[in-house]
Amino acid sequence: MAQKPSVPRGTRDFSPAEMLRRNYIFDIIRRTFSLYGYLPLETPAMENLSTLLGKYGEEGDRLIFRILNSGNFLSGMEPSTLVGADSAFLAKHFSEKGLRYDLTVPFARYVVQHRNEISFPFRRYQIQPVWRADKPQKGRYREFFQCDADVIGSDSLLNEFELIRIIDHVFSELKINVIIKVNNRKILAGIAATAGAGDRITDITVAIDKLEKIGSEGVRQELLQRGITPDVIERLDPFLSLRGSAASKLSGLKREIAASPEGQKGLAEMEELFSYLGMEPTEARVELDLSLARGLNYYTGTIIEVKADDMVIGSICGGGRYDDLTGIFGLPGVSGVGISFGADRIYDVMLHLGLFPEQTGAATEVLVINFGGEELMELIKIAVALRDAGIATELFPDAVRLKKQFSYADAQNIPMVIIAGSNELKAGQATVRNMKTGEQTTMSLSALPEFIREVKSH
């Protein structure tokens, strides 16, 4: 116990059983992305700090893992400059690279860097780990996987519509009941402007975003704390209490924020999006939630967030439109929109709700009992023939007692065991034991693959 090795805080090993279930999730997401025409992309685990810093706000910068420079980074540095230097100064001199914090910014970097090779609109999906130097809790890790799909170089709201369809497709295949919340940053800007605080949109949205968690009184306190004046809060109030369908909220808003051109634009976008959704309804409920803001401040239009209906956990998928992301890298005027599935939280939800199918992935289907001795050559041939027939087969590597081999099959959940000892082989036969029912059938060796395929299909 004492000197056991361990992994760093907030990181995890994934056992074979866990990997089979994780791959079940990844496979469904990957298949759905590709069904909608998205292409795979991977980027390095580390990026230059200049790519990363300043993209996620002050809070985000603090959470980026920095990689120490290789070699003697102290060489040529006067000891006197180190005395009294603050950590920001040292970090700048000792570290030039960081672990990626999300997949969207590296994607934007990729697009700008390869703009001449890409034909727009460019759709890509990316399933890779990201790292955040956060304090871990349940459902919050320092290394976790994101599954992103983004399309860049198209302003059309058809993209938003299709991304929502993808979300719906994935969660209905995973059998997770969800609610898809949408909103639009331009509407939020319109609300802020109408309330007379257009310049305080960040403070206002951050506070409003907490509505569900802390209630309307809590939001009021939060707004006050952020220095929003009581008369502005008074004027924000009607927006927070808007109820009803998306259509009725939109028409209500239309009057309220008539004076804000940006707000009107946001409303028009939402109306268009909901008209598409009306034509081709989703399985999950799509709700216009005016309190939805999302922290990442590069979003400029539609914002999307998905919550599980049957379990209290943070959002399991989110996304939105960003107009200016590639602008930071010197390519202005290219609009993008994307979503990101949180695979680790989806895993937690599915585990908690018991939604994983009993057999996930390609576990062994048949174990061939090893009798050793003269039979071994025949047993190898059986295993080869079964694998040729596409049946996942293990030949037990050691000729140990049958009890041990059967226990192994039981522990590994292997559904069928083949017993072919000298008795059976003399007659050119083998016995198949169904481990679930205990039923045993003896047949000729040539009939084995067909028989097992038969049992499998039931």
Q: Interface residues with RNA (CB under 7 A)?
A: 1-3, 6, 8-10, 57, 59-60, 62-63, 102, 132, 134-142, 144, 146, 206, 210, 213, 222, 294-296, 314-318, 340, 342, 344-345, 401-404, 406-407, 409-411, 417, 419, 421-424, 431, 433, 435-436, 438, 440
**Smaller CB separation from RNA, 74 or 427:** 427
In this complex, which beta carbon is closest to RNA, that of residue 10 or of residue 198? 10
Residue 429 β-bridge partners: 444
Show Cβ contacts of residue 341 under 8 Å, excluding neighbours closer than 6 positions: 29, 146, 147, 148, 170, 316, 317
Which ranges in 1-128 belong to alpha helices (H)? Answer: 16-35, 49-52, 57-62, 79-82, 87-94, 104-113
Q: Closest CB to RNA among 218 and 278?
A: 218
Complex with RNA: residue 134 or 287, whichever CB lies closer: 134
Closer of 74 and 400 to RNA (Cβ): 400
Q: What is the smallest separation between the CB atom of 429 and RNA, expressed in angstroms? A: 10
Nearer to RNA, 157 or 379 (CB): 379
Residue closer to RNA, measured from CB, 178 or 267: 178
From the CB of 383, what's the least distance to RNA, in Å?
A: 16
State in angstroms the smallest separation of the CB of 421 from RNA.
Answer: 3
Residue 160 tokens read as: 């938003």
Q: Which of 329, 424, 304, 303 is nearest to 368 (CA)?
A: 424
In one-letter notation, the amino acid at residue 220 is: R
* Contacts (Cβ under 8 Å, ≥6 apart) of 241: 216
Give the nearest distance from C-beta 66 to RNA in angstroms: 12
Distance from CA of residue 156 to its chain's centroid? Answer: 24
Helix (H, G, I), strand (E, B) or coil at 271: helix
Q: What phi, psi does 285 have (nearest 5°)?
A: -75, 130
By beta-carbon proximity to RNA, the closer residue of 140 and 254 is 140
Measuring CA to CA, which residue among 286, 236, 272, 227 is closest to residue 257? 236
Closest contact distance (angstroms) between CB of 191 and RNA is 18
How far is residue 367's CA from residue 5's CA, in Å, rounded to a whole number?
Answer: 34
| Least distance (Å) between residue 357 CB and RNA | 19
C-alpha torsion sign, points 226, 230, 231, 236:
positive
Q: How far is the CB of 275 from RNA (least distance, A)?
A: 27
- In angstroms, give the least distance from the CB of 115 to RNA: 25
- CA angle at 441 for the pair 438 and 444, rounded to the nearest 5°: 150
Gap between the Cα atoms of 336 and 302, Å rounded: 11
